[in-house]
């Protein structure tokens, strides 16, 4: 059975065949603008509300919710209809509210430092499952007296490996929920065909590339996809993307103690940033602890030193604040861990910048 955000407007019109035509707009507006469930839409006749509540069930069932830092970070564990587990993280900052959504249950990319990658791949999420995460977060933000302004696709999964469901979700979040494309950020560990497709789209979303290493030898180790799309190929796709979109590109860099935090790493990274038609911005994320990866994140002083090296080479870099480390909601930690017996979900724990994932 389709869930309430899986149907597009035409499919909803079919579902409402026999009803006055304006009911489609009412229902669509209720779901997306007012963030309402069918049984809350008091502008619909009672009998229709009851039918829609039955025929348009939610995709996600909350299993657990944890919050930290005085409620400014909230992480949900959701069960999907087939019991796949995913996680979503809402973050209130002084000046903005951001949700980090999952695009797959688990991830097939196998980055060793990432809780999601350690758990393996379960399945792609549907467009409805992705949109519903945003709707639920926007409702919570509204209840908290805030407005959801940013969506980062940096939760569990590799968004560009699920392009055919993720992009319709982006369009819905932009066109129907009403968030600016400039406040939507898609991340990737380097799925080059996806970057090339994105370059041909009309919405100017942000692109964040989880780089983590600036030479192929190290990147092959940290990000296995690099063996398929080595840095020269990835950089060429990034350059073409920038030429086509003129949008800012960011590189995410999870700092791993003694692994990718040396001056030579900063120099190589700076070379890559400066090789692009528009300079890339770097987001530095001290690697979060995960059970399956033995090394640790770069200590704070090392993070600052790395940032200074980049600056000295003319590259702007921001240190991401880790939000939610105590509830495993920080970059690289999403692992859908509450008893998922058959499923091995994880979040795009890429050293996802939760304020963007490991990006
Ligand atoms: S870092 Fe991202 S792409 Fe790599 S395994 Fe984790 S979720 Fe997948």
> Is residue 255 in contact with ligand 1, taking CB distance under 6 Å?
no
> Is residue 158 in contact with ligand 1, taking CB distance under 6 Å?
yes
Q: What angle is formed at CA 187 by the lines to CA 202 and CA 144, rounded to 5 degrees? A: 95
Q: Which atom of ligand 1 is nearest to the CA of 346?
A: 7
> Is residue 160 in contact with ligand 1, taking CB distance under 6 Å?
no
Q: What is the rounded CA–CA span in Å between residue 180 and residue 160?
A: 20
> Is residue 155 in contact with ligand 1, taking CB distance under 6 Å?
no
pLDDT at 334: 64
pLDDT at 341: 30
> Is residue 109 in contact with ligand 1, taking CB distance under 6 Å?
yes
Question: Alpha-carbon Rg of the chain, whole angstroms?
Answer: 20
Active-site annotation holds for 238: no
- The dihedrals phi and psi of 188, each to the nearest 5 degrees, come to -155, 150
Q: What is the rounded CA–CA span in Å between residue 36 and residue 95?
A: 26
pLDDT in tens, 98-129: 999 999 999 999 988 887 888 889 999 999 99
Q: What is the rounded CA–CA span in Å between residue 177 and residue 326?
A: 31
Question: Does the global pTM surpass 0.85?
Answer: yes
Ligand 1 centre distance from Cα of residue 118 (Å): 9
Nearest to 269 by CA among 256, 280, 285, 258: 280
pLDDT at 287: 81
Instruction: Give the SS3 label for residue 187.
Output: strand
pLDDT averaged per 10 residues, the chain (length 359): 93 96 97 97 97 96 90 93 94 94 94 82 96 98 96 95 98 97 95 97 94 97 96 97 90 94 98 94 85 81 97 94 58 52 32 33
pLDDT at 232: 98
Residue of 100, 210, 349, 357 to mutate, ligand 1, most atoms within 8 A of C-beta = 349
pLDDT at 347: 31
Q: What is the rounded CA–CA span in Å between residue 178 and residue 172?
A: 8
pLDDT at 343: 29
pLDDT at 215: 97
pLDDT in tens, 150-178: 999 999 999 999 999 999 999 999 999 99
pLDDT at 248: 80
> Is residue 331 in contact with ligand 1, taking CB distance under 6 Å?
no
Ligand 1 centre distance from Cα of residue 329 (Å): 15
Cβ burial of 226 (10 Å; 0-12, 13-18, 19+) is: buried
Beta strand 249-255 with 97-100 is unpaired
Task: List the helix and strand counts (H, then E) for the chain.
Answer: 11, 12
> Is residue 84 in contact with ligand 1, taking CB distance under 6 Å?
no
Cα–Cα distances in Å, from 318 out to 28, 204, 212?
Answer: 39, 22, 14
Ligand 1 centre distance from Cα of residue 22 (Å): 43
Active-site annotation holds for 331: yes
Beta bridge partners of 208: 187, 250
pLDDT at 344: 30
Ligand 1 centre distance from Cα of residue 46 (Å): 45
Nearest CA to ligand 1 atom 7: 348
Chain centroid, CA 215 distance in Å: 25
């Amino acid at each position: 059975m389709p869930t309430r955000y899986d149907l597009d407007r035409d499919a909803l019109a079919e579902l409402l065949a026999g009803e006055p035509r304006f009911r489609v707009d009412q229902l669509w507006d209720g779901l997306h603008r007012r963030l309402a469930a069918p049984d809350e839409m008091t502008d619909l006749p009672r009998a229709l509300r009851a039918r829609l509540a039955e025929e348009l069930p939610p995709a996600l069932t909350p299993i657990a919710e944890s919050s930290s830092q005085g409620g400014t970070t909230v992480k949900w564990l959701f069960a999907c209809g087939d019991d796949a587990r995913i996680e979503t993280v809402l973050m209130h900052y002084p000046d903005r509210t951001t949700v980090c959504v999952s695009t797959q249950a688990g991830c097939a990319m196998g980055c060793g430092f990432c809780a999601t990658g350690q758990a393996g791949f379960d399945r792609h999420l549907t467009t409805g499952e992705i949109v519903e995460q945003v709707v639920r977060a926007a409702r919570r933000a509204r209840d908290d007296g805030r407005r959801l302004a940013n969506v980062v696709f940096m939760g569990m999964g590799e968004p560009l490996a699920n392009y055919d469901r993720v992009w319709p979700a982006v369009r819905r979040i932009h066109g129907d929920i009403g968030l600016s494309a400039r406040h939507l950020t898609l991340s990737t560990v380097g799925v080059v065909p996806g970057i090339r497709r994105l370059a041909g789209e009309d919405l100017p979303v942000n692109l964040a590339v989880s780089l983590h290493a600036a030479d192929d030898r190290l990147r092959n180790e940290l990000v296995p996809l690099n063996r398929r799309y080595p840095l020269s190929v990835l950089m060429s796709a990034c350059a073409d993307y920038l030429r086509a979109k003129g949008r800012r590109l960011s590189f995410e860099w999870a700092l791993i103690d003694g692994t990718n935090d040396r001056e030579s790493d900063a120099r190589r990274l700076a070379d890559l940033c400066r090789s692009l038609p528009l300079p890339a911005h770097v987001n530095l994320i001290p690697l979060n602890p995960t059970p399956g990866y033995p090394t640790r994140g770069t200590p704070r002083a090392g993070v600052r030193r790395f940032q200074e090296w980049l600056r000295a080479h003319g590259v702007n870099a921001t240190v991401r604040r880790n939000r939610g480390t105590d509830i495993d909601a920080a970059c690289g930690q999403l692992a859908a861990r509450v008893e998922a017996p058959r499923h091995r979900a994880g979040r795009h724990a890429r050293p996802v910048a939760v304020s963007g994932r490991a990006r």
